[in-house]
Structure 1
Amino acid sequence: MRRRSLIVICCLAVLAALPGLAQAEKLKVAFALIGTVNDQGWNHAHAVGIEALKKKFGDQIEVSYTENVGAADAERVFRQYAQDGYKMIFGTTFEHMDPMLQVAKDFPDVAFEHCSGYKTAPNMGTYMARIEQGEYLVGYMAGLMGYSNVGTVSTNPIPEPIRGINGFTHGLLRGLKESGAKFNPDAVNTVVWLKSWRDPIGETTMSEALVQRGCTLIRQMADTPDASLAACAKNVPAIGYGADASAFGAKCVLVSTIWNWGEFYTRLVKAKLEGSWKPEELYWGFEKDAIQLSAFNEKVPAPVREKVTAELDLMKKGTDNSFLGPMVDQDGKVMIPEGKRATVQELYTMRWLLKGVSGKLPE
């Protein structure tokens, strides 16, 4: 009996060692975050996406992340993950692009994905959500409600925030025209620059200053809800960015644009698990549920909600009017002709501000 038991145990051990019969090895997936998961904005949205990924695939994957990974430390973090056996690595901010590209060259069997960048490699793809679609919609909403003196607390003067500002202003101008309100078409959106992704004190100070200058609506663009919270404290409505600002106490927020990174993470990891992953340049919007709007504040009139929702439905079906011309810059130069739409390349390299924006791009 003992001999028979020993034979069974040995057979099981041999079977477990055979390819395909042992328990499948987990796919190790890693993320580098520019800030902390509790920033209530950009990194919080990525953390929500990571949780969606874990919920989707459970025991099939092993997930790790590192917070506060700036450009100077990114190469070390990516390299360490690759050396530790992680086969899919995500860099979640523009500053991670060049460090990731460098590491990708040394680990050709690892899949790298970079958020918001434009450089690729045989084993490195890019992904970005069309947040400007959401910006256009909330701008359209603001215009329909007659807000002709908006103040925007912007972040860094690179193409992503710039196209957000332009998309918002384009929607704002359309909404104002449809509302019949009187306004100065040269100055409907005053923009100030934080020159940072996250600076709660600066966000608060700039928001308060814009209110003091007479702005009747504050547009938050940084990675915390502090610009919106400051507006609420002054009894001025706001629009949230990146996550639902009302969930973090900004009850005056009329609506928020929301990053939905989980759509990218679940689809990309699924492809890796199935062996079909390849480097691509993904740029998804409402049609892929990569961007969302929060629930509207009760102060947004029903007819306004209906118009914004109708435009949102068009975007979900593939008709994107967020950068439909004519669009002219602050000097009056036609940047997007009438009837034309901005190309992906034009959006990714945007370095001009739309007429209607008050304030200049920093050097």
Structure 2
Amino acid sequence: MKRFVTLCVLAMLCMLLAAPGAAMAKKKIKAGFALLWTIDDRGWTTAHYNGIQHMKEKLGDDVEVIYKEKVLGPDAERVFREFAEEGCDIIFGTTFDHMEPILRVARDYPDIKFEHCSGYKTASNVRTYMVRIYQADYLCGYLAGLMGFKDVGTVGTHPIPEPVRGVNAFTLGLQRGLMEAGVEHGETVNTVAWLNSWADPVKETTLAETLIAKNHDLIRQMADTPDSSLAACAADVPAMGYGTDAASWGAECVLSSAMLNWGPYYVKAIRDFQNGTWETGSYWKGFEANGVKLADFHESVPQEVRDKVLAVQEQLKNGQDDIFTGPIFDQNGKKVLAEGERFDDGQLLSMQMLVKGVQGKLAR
């Protein structure tokens, strides 16, 4: 009898111990991603897809992913609603033009979390996220300046804050590198030509070829695809890539690339939801959160230059971001930031001026 009672007590204890574990079992999260273009676009969407794959590798069976390619602004609301009806717990819009559609859908599905990349509007169930790619842009400019490039031609995308910030950061890095290298240069060191598109391979090639014909000594790619870098290589002109590693797509003349690294954020977003710690707001991190990367250096980059660039990268990883610290002048010579002052995040996110040293206009 005692043995029977003992066994019953042990069985009850096992049930009590097992119950909390069962209650704490993590729910498998279903995540939906609306992608701007195809996963093999070699740029913006490829970077997001790489981030999704990283997240899946890290989280394994904790997450189920569905995605749809070529989700442009006009079609985004339909896709978001489909994701919601298909049982997604969290939905990601991965381009600026998804902002208004994601807000409209979020209002109708208050129990679903929504994440919008590169936007600036939030709601109780909508969070925005972006990485500080301008930090990697700055390092690319610094590298170029240290190597003596003083008449860069930039193939830009849209003259809106994100690309404008990148043009300015690259230029500030370029000017610093030229100064440290003791290279004399003219007032203009970076000429930007706007695509007024995120990706247009034909126009990217044409603009790069036009800049090369005007004797610009390096081509700075900022579009979502590497075609401007490829055009530079075809003309034996060095280039700087953007988004992903342009050299991996055949642009062998690229000195380095400013790379978007979305994986760590996607892991964070799913974990936040899973742990009940998800909250609205705006996420904006850089090297300190492994959100951006610098691609491997071209063999022509001297070791001394590599060391200097990596030293600044290490400062950025440690949270020391002095890129937009005064004095800074706009392209007309007006002081927009006094000595020691710095732009706050609000000013950076709304930036609509070009710094001294840039030739180009913001009007579309």
Deviations 1:230-276 (A, max 9, x none): 00000000000010000000000000011000011001101111121
Mean Cα deviation higher: 160-169 or 325-334: 325-334
Distance 2:220 2:117 in 1: 23
Distance 1:101 1:193 in 2: 29
Give the one of 58, 61, 83 matched to 1:59. 61
Counterpart of 2:8?
Answer: none
Deviations 1:170-196 (A, max 9, x none): 110111111111101x21001000010
Counterpart of 1:3?
Answer: none
RMSD between aligned residues: 1.4
Letter in 2 for 1:120: T
Distance 1:308 1:22 in 2: 46
Shift of 1:277: 1.1
Give the one of 159, 179, 182 matched to 1:180. 182
Shift of 1:224: 0.8
Counterpart of 1:338?
Answer: 339
Counterpart of 2:119?
Answer: 117
Counterpart of 1:137?
Answer: 139
Mean Cα deviation higher: 145-154 or 270-279: 270-279
Counterpart of 1:100?
Answer: 102
What does residue range 296-315 of structure 1 map to in structure 2 within 5 Å?
Answer: 296-315=297-316
Mean Cα deviation higher: 51-60 or 224-233: 51-60
Identity across the alignment (%): 52
With the length of structure 2 as denominator, give the TM-score of the two structures: 0.92
Counterpart of 1:349?
Answer: 350
Counterpart of 2:16?
Answer: none
Letter in 2 for 1:85: G
Counterpart of 1:68?
Answer: 70
SS in 2 for 1:191: strand
Shift of 1:323: 1.0
Describe the shift of the 1:191–1:122 C-alpha distance in structure 2 as closer, same or farther (beyond 3 A).
same
Counterpart of 2:6?
Answer: none
Mean Cα deviation higher: 198-207 or 56-65: 56-65
Deviations 1:104-147 (A, max 9, x none): 11111001001011100011101100010011111011111110
Tell whether the 8 Å contact from 2:157 to 2:194 is kept in structure 1 after alignment.
Answer: yes
Does residue 279 of structure 2 align to residue 278 of structure 1? Answer: yes
Aligned residue pairs: how many?
A: 344
Distance 2:265 2:93 in 1: 13
Distance 2:126 2:292 in 1: 23
Counterpart of 1:207?
Answer: 208
Counterpart of 1:160?
Answer: 162
Distance 2:147 2:139 in 1: 12
Deviations 1:56-92 (A, max 9, x none): 1111211011111111111111111111110100000
With the length of structure 1 as denominator, give the TM-score of the two structures: 0.93
Shift of 1:20: 4.5
Distance 2:337 2:260 in 1: 26
Describe the shift of the 1:270–1:183 C-alpha distance in structure 2 as closer, same or farther (beyond 3 A).
same
Runs (5+) with no aligned partner, structure 2: 1-20
Letter in 1 for 2:168: N
